[in-house]
Amino acid sequence: MVQRIGIYAGTFDPIHNGHISIITRSLPLLDTLVIGVANDTGKKTLFSLEERVRLIREYFQATPHKNQIIVEPFEGLLAEFAQKKGAIAIVRGLRAISDFDYEFQMALMNRKLSPSIQTIFLMADFHLMYVSSTNLKTVASLGGNVADLTPSNVWNALCQKYQQKNYE
């Protein structure tokens, strides 16, 4: 039987509940989901690549989905990473119309590079549409409480990075 492997890639600096929602909602469509943590994104990250991978692994290790999820760092083209992993699909989340324009262009480029790999777009949950790693870091850096928008291990790591009180 052919494994239905999907890739969900991003910087995940840090992972948040919006990402987790996309991940868990994609799992019924796939046998295995590889969460690809991008190394070379051009973004300056708060967390190192190793920290981002560790935070994601820690979170999913304590979930019922742990046997369906693999977390791996990668660099280079997403389409090449997906091919190496034997993926049939790339999973992408959409929060707003502005996301669609960018993601549509990337999906077409990935299709050109790897025609056999499909892109699956999942809409963000309504109550999480405003959540991004960038705004979480901004709020946390200014002492705001975003504990309900992240896994607890990520919230603890954010508090440690910004040396603030842990609100839990």
State the catalytic residues: 19, 43, 95, 133
Nearest to 133 by CA among 151, 106, 121: 151
Q: Measure the CA–CA gap between 132 and 116, rounded to whole angstroms.
A: 30
Question: Burial of 139 by CB count in 10 Å (0-12 exposed, 13-18 middle, 19+ buried)?
Answer: middle
